[in-house]
Amino acid sequence: MQPPATGGWKRQTRASVGTAGVLIAAGVGWSLWVKTGLRLAAFVSIAAGVALLLDLMLAVVATRRVVATVDGLPTDAFVGDQVGFTISVTGPGLPFRIRPVSGADPLVVTPPASGRVNAVADVREVVTELEVEVTGSGLSGLVTCARRQTVVLPRPLAVGPRPSAPAHPFPELFGTSGEGAPRPAAVGDIVRGVRDYVPGDPVRRVHWPSSARRGDLVVKEVEEPGAPRLVVALDLGGGAAAGELAAARAAWYAYEALRRGYEVVLATAEPSGPVVGRMGPPTDVNQRLARAVRGKPRLPAAGAGRAAVVVVTPEGDSWP
């Protein structure tokens, strides 16, 4: 789906095959009237001109009164997906052809009516507007008028990169205990203090020196580490095709890590500047990568810490 042009309606009037016939009839009739003074010839010439003018006015006014709206649009898609949505049209009760400028098949309707349209999401972007072309003609079909209208979508459509596996997969994602299972985290490596023993506490947590001093069993109170973390930093570099391939690899790292149970943090650049955030469902990844622009990413403020980090660039991927 191409970015819409701005400026609202853009009109283009087109002649049909019938227009040429009417103009010929008007010209021949006028010539006969001038040469012979035949009133019938004058009537034919004037009638042809009036019919053409009325058809032109009707086509212009009718297409101007058409209002198109879009509904039923998904919120997420990958580049290359067929995106289906509904176009609803109100206006004069004449046949109109509605065609999204993005290249979808045209829809022929007589308002008020609606129909389903499919378009190809061919660019990574966040789509907020759609440009459609409304084509109509007068009652005689002598003149066709086409207008372009920018339609504001009811909600944005995030078109993210289609995930593409890298040639050399990130080793952290493959150092797991099994397909789809995250790497086991160390247990009890952060000791917050000690407390009295409670039946059921594992023996390995007994703090023997403190137990000896107190004369009763005490155990280490530990902070259980959560899921392993992966930071994916995307640098689109100079953009273009190589930048889009980098975005596709970053998507693969993020989706694969989420599938394996990792906590994923995505670092990208957006029009407002560098953005760092933890991903929830996979749709978070798609929407963030759809908004990504050229610029240097910034790692989390506290540093990567114990997280694994992969930096994705058009030149290649690295694991600092």
| Predicted confidence (pLDDT) at residue 182 exceeds the cutoff of 60 | no
Q: Has this prediction a pTM greater than 0.85? A: no
> Rounded to whole angstroms, what are the CA distances from 1 to 72, 287, 294?
16, 16, 20
- How high is the pLDDT of residue 176? 47
Number of Cβ atoms within 10 Å of the Cβ of 48: 21
- How high is the pLDDT of residue 313? 96
Interatomic CA distance for residues 145 and 60, integer angstroms: 6
Lowest mean pLDDT among 112-126, 131-145, 182-196: 182-196
DSSP-assigned letters across all residues of the chain: -PPPPSSS-EEEEEE-HHHHHHHHHHHHHHHHHHHH--HHHHHHHHHHHHHHHHHHHHHHHHHHH-EEEEES--SEEETT-EEEEEEEEESSSS-EEEEETTTPPPEEE-SSEEEEEEEE--S-EEEEEEEEEEEEE-TT--EEEEEEEEEEEEEEEEEEPPP---SS--GGGGSSSBTTBPPPPPSS-SEEEEEE--TT--GGGB-HHHHHHHSS-EEEEE----S-EEEEEE--TT-HHHHHHHHHHHHHHHHHHHHTT-EEEEEEEETTEEEEEE--SHHHHHHHHHH--SS-----TT--TTSEEEEEETTEEE--
Does a structural domain hold residue 5? Answer: no
Residues 152, 22 within the same domain: yes
CB-CB contact of 56 with 141 (8 Å): no
Q: How confident is the model at residue 252 (pLDDT cuts 50, 70, 90)?
A: very high
Residues 263, 176 within the same domain: yes
Lowest mean pLDDT among 52-66, 173-187, 200-214, 230-244: 173-187
Residue 6 CB-density burial (10 A; 0-12 exposed, 13-18 middle, 19+ buried): exposed
Digit-coded pLDDT (tens) for 80-95: 999 999 999 999 988 8
Residues 57, 141 within the same domain: yes
Classify strands 263-270 and 229-234 as parallel, antiparallel or unpaired: parallel
Does a structural domain hold residue 1? Answer: no
| Predicted confidence (pLDDT) at residue 177 exceeds the cutoff of 50 | no
| Predicted confidence (pLDDT) at residue 303 exceeds the cutoff of 60 | no
- How high is the pLDDT of residue 9? 47
CB-CB contact of 216 with 241 (8 Å): no
Interatomic CA distance for residues 257 and 251, integer angstroms: 10
Residues 155, 278 within the same domain: no
Residue 304: domain span = 171-182+226-318
- How high is the pLDDT of residue 12? 62
Q: What percent of the chain has pLDDT over 70?
A: 80
- How high is the pLDDT of residue 190? 56
Does a structural domain hold residue 4? Answer: no
Q: How many domains does the chain have?
A: 3
Does a structural domain hold residue 235? Answer: yes
Residues 25, 154 within the same domain: yes
- How high is the pLDDT of residue 243? 97
Residues 206, 246 within the same domain: no
DSSP-assigned letters across all residues of 137-160: E-TT--EEEEEEEEEEEEEEEEEE
Q: What is the mean pLDDT of residues 264-293?
A: 95
CA nearest neighbour of 176 among 67, 60, 262: 262
Residues 204, 218 within the same domain: yes
Residues 211, 297 within the same domain: no
Does a structural domain hold residue 249? Answer: yes
Does a structural domain hold residue 96? Answer: yes
Does a structural domain hold residue 78? Answer: yes
Residues 216, 232 within the same domain: no
Residues 176, 61 within the same domain: no
Q: What is the mean pLDDT of residues 69-87?
A: 93
Residues 43, 106 within the same domain: yes
CA nearest neighbour of 45 among 56, 57, 55, 32: 32
CB-CB contact of 267 with 299 (8 Å): yes
Interatomic CA distance for residues 121 and 56, integer angstroms: 36
- How high is the pLDDT of residue 234? 97
Does a structural domain hold residue 276? Answer: yes
| Predicted confidence (pLDDT) at residue 29 exceeds the cutoff of 60 | yes
Residues 152, 205 within the same domain: no
Q: What percent of the chain has pLDDT over 90?
A: 41
